[in-house]
Structure 1
Amino acid sequence: MQETVGDEEIVTPGEVLGKGTEVKAGRGAYLSRENNTVYASLTGRRSVVPPSSESTDQRPIVEVIGHKAHGPVPEPGCVVIARVTKVMARMASADIMCVGAKAVREKFSGIIRQQDVRATEIDKVDMHSSFRPGDIVKASVISLGDARAYYLSTAQNELGVVSAESTAGSTMVPISWTEMQCPSTGQIEPRKVAKAGA
């Protein structure tokens, strides 16, 4: 790993940038408290910024300057479209496909926690009744969570499942904010449905 300032080293999300004892995480980087290691959070050019002479902390700051060509990056507060990849008892994981109306060009992972599925009766949320793997969901980004996954929320009415495939393989139609129906078999499946027209 080169240590020269202003080098053109390209790094990708999850790549180790240095130990937390030696460098500070700047833009495009984050510190994992588990192993005190600084990782890149986006694809871009690795850059080391020397500490200011007034600073008591004399560790250099390591940053990743992202390429504009890499497409949009999820930011807290923006709405994303994601595909659910795995549903567990207390959360669902998803791959973010679009930020707003723009498709992402690199892989971003999202996590929808049980408490972020809907605004009411949070303790009664059943993840397996809200999402299934393969569902396309509209969600808002809460924050960059842990392990390079963004925390996502579907608590607002207009957020939730926008497209889902039934067990028969047909695209289901929403019939209420908690159910979708397979047009070919008539089978009804539970989901946290996004309110239409939003």
Structure 2
Amino acid sequence: MKEREEENFVTPGDMLGKALELKPGYGAYFSSHDKAIYASLTGFRSLTPAPPDSDDPRATVEVKGHKAHGPVPEPGVVVTARVTKVMAKMASADIVCVRPKSVREKFTGIIRQQDVRATEIDKVEMHSSFRPGDIVKALVLSLGDARAYYLSTAKNELGVVSAESVAGATMVPISWTEMQCPLTGQTEHRKVAKIDVV
């Protein structure tokens, strides 16, 4: 018989408890920012008491039982996302893949101005880095506000991997900061990901 008295429905970003009392299990992660444990999956909150002989008396909190979920973005993982909106200080994007696997739920990511590149952060212009529709490779930094993940493109291998020009053609990267339309020859500014040439 499955224990259900401790279970309730949670979604990514919901607080599951404080790290003083609980430790994270499957579908949960620890946030050093506020010493709390949050859900990284949609499902039911489940507590497993610590074994009687355990050195750690804390119960393990997990998220279980939601069979529809596919892969879930987690801090430290590289994701592929489609840029949906570009503002002065940040760009928002829908995460479409976690590593090589496509996601089944909607996850939103935010690339903040300070996370676009590693150098000259104060000179970053969001509209010169990304455009809506761009496909970007980014690193998940953390679960941010309003259930959106904070993403970073501040490494050479991260950034725009595919973009469409005004003429509708897939552009070709020609430098770290520019992509060119093969039809018109026009260049557009982007934060381009370094592609490993095999």
TM-score computed with the length of structure 2 as normaliser: 0.74
Does the 8 Å CA contact 1:82/1:139 hold for their aligned counterparts? Answer: yes
In structure 1, C-alpha distance between the alignment counterparts of 2:15 and 2:144, rounded to whole Å: 19
Q: Structure 1 residues 45, 153: CA separation in 2 closer, same or farther (over 3 Å shift)?
A: same
Q: Is the 8 A contact 1:42 1:66 kept in 2?
A: no
Match of 2:136 in 1: 137
The separation in 2 between residues aligned to 1:92 and 1:184, in whole angstroms, is 27
Secondary structure of the residue aligned to 2:127 is helix
Deviations 1:57-112 (A, max 9, x none): xxx99863364651111111111000011111011111111111111111111111
Give the match for residue 5 of structure 1.
5
Q: In the aligned structure 2, how far is the partner of 1:155 from the partner of 1:17?
A: 28
What residue is the counterpart of 1:171 in the other structure?
A: 170
Q: Which residue of 1 aligns with 2:42?
A: 43
Q: Distance in 2 between matches of 1:107 and 1:62?
A: 24
2:100 is matched by which residue type in structure 1?
A
1:173–1:183 CA contact under 8 A, matched in 2: yes
DSSP-derived class of the 1:129 partner: helix
Report what 1:122 is aligned to: 121
How far has the Cα of 1:6 moved from its partner? 4.4
* Helix, strand or coil at the partner of 1:76: coil
Provide the residue aligned with 2:79 in structure 1.
Answer: 80
Percent identity, aligned pairs only, is: 77
For structure 2, the residue ranges without an aligned partner over 5 or more in a row are 30-37, 50-58
Q: CA RMSD in A?
A: 3.3
Q: Given that residues 41 and 148 in structure 1 are in contact (C-alpha distance below 8 angstroms), is that contact kept between their aligned partners in structure 2? A: no
CA distance in 2, matches of 1:73, 1:66: 15
- 1:46: how far off? 3.8
User: Given that residues 166 and 182 in structure 1 are in contact (C-alpha distance below 8 angstroms), is that contact kept between their aligned partners in structure 2?
Assistant: yes
Task: Quote the offset at 1:42 in angstroms.
Answer: 2.8
Determine the C-alpha separation between the residues in 2 that align with 1:87 and 1:139: 16
Q: Rate the CA distance shift 1:17–1:196 in 2: closer, same or farther, 3 A.
A: closer
Residue 70 of structure 1 aligns to a residue in which SS? Answer: coil
Match of 1:65 in 2: 64
Mark the CA change 1:76 to 1:11 in structure 2 (over 3 Å): closer, same or farther.
Answer: closer
Aligned length: 179
1:53 match = none
User: Which residue is equivalent to 2:108?
Assistant: 109
Gaps of 5+ in 1: 31-38, 51-59
After TM superposition, give the deviation of residue 40 of structure 1 in Å: 6.0
Runs of 4+ in 1 over 6 A off after TM superposition: none
